[in-house]
Amino acid sequence: MAPRPRPLHHNEIALWREVTRSIVPLHGKRVLKADPVADEPQAVVTPPTAKPKKPPPKASAEALAQLASSKLAVAPAVPVRAVAAKPLATIERKLIKQVSRGQYEIDAVLDLHGFRQHDAHERLRRFLHRAQADHARLVLVVTGKGASPTPRLQDGEPHAKGILRRSVPEWLRMPDLRSVVMGFEEAAPHQGGSGALYVRLRRRKGEA
């Protein structure tokens, strides 16, 4: 089988036309004309343009909230470092003797007679903070000795003689007053005895 002839390029066809213009055909012959289809320039095929990708759908507010809550649920808890409260110290016996003999002056006195527990607690806290701000070093807190161990209700709150005598030492030991209270001791008999307390105050930060 004979090989298939190669189609002519349009440049070759144009050259052939220029040559054949000056040729006179022989009797009974005709000049070959180029295939009109082959003479046309070949069309350039461009690849299809890729369609732009659609952006991912936005997450709803509910989905974001669920994602945040799930992350918080699996997040490890950060340990909170506990701040140790300052320890209480006993008041020097020498100082107590000086106070009882009148050789050392008490800076301020708080008398809690007749107050309910809530009011007495608030007055005690304010008194100690104010005394520390005034650079006091030793104060006297009078609680009263009391006689009735059984509390009775007054306005829905326990109130009895001697209740403050038991409560005030507990309040002085609480962490919220450790930055104010250095220590406390029972007062001398002529200054209240078991119904009063000497309270030694700390210096505030920055004080000499």
Q: For the chain, which domains are there?
A: 10-39 (no CATH), 93-201 (3.30.1370.110)
163-172 helix and 117-133 helix, angle to the nearest 10 degrees: 40
Alpha-carbon gap, residue 86 to 65, rounded angstroms: 43
The band of 75, judged by pLDDT with boundaries at 50, 70 and 90, is very low
User: What residues does 184 pair with on adjacent strands?
Assistant: 199
What mean pLDDT is reported for the chain? 76
Q: What is the pLDDT of residue 13?
A: 73
The percentage of the chain sitting over the pLDDT mark of 70, rounded to a whole number, equals 54
Q: What is the pLDDT of residue 128?
A: 97
Residue 139: closest CA among 205, 206, 187, 94: 187
User: 21 pLDDT exceeds 50?
Assistant: yes
pTM across the whole model = 0.55
Alpha-carbon gap, residue 207 to 193, rounded angstroms: 32
Average pLDDT over residues 162-188: 93
Lowest mean pLDDT among 39-43, 105-109, 113-117, 134-138: 39-43
